[in-house]
Amino acid sequence: DIRMTQSPASLSASLGETVNIECLASEDIYSDLAWYQQKPGKSPQLLIYNANSLQNGVPSRFSGSGSGTQYSLKINSLQSEDVATYFCQQYNNYPTFGAGTKLELK
């Protein structure tokens, strides 16, 4: 299985700040990477696929980048509604997820 190491595990940031979350794959996943947002008690919502393609309806303050084994999710101008847990997922092989990053407001 491809292991996805996500960092940090938790993050505290202020409104308007820029936030970065990283995901490291145990082998090259050729940009077969998605990012999800999950709010408490809710299902995950797709934000980004193919490492940098924004899902329809997702605000443009979210962006993804990376290649090979290293990927990141960036949130510009943090809003209160962005408080959530974020997961990365690779689909180059059988799907595997990162452990998640819990984002809170400072």
Partner 1 sequence: EVQLVESGGGLVQPGRSMKLSCAASGFTFNNYDMAWVCQAPKKGLEWVATISYDGSSTYYRDSVKGRFTISRDNAKSTLYLQMDSLRSEDTATYYCARSFGWFAYWGQGTLVTVSS
- Which residues would be at the binding site for partner 1 (CB under 8 A)? 32, 34, 36, 43-46, 49-50, 55, 87, 89, 91, 94-100
Cβ nearer to partner 1, comparing 17 with 28 = 28
79 phi and psi angles, rounded to 5 deg: -110, 160
Give the chain's count of helices (H) and strands (E): 0, 11
Cβ nearer to partner 1, comparing 36 with 62 = 36
Cβ nearer to partner 1, comparing 34 with 103 = 34
Residues 74 and 76: their CA atoms lie apart, in Å, by 6
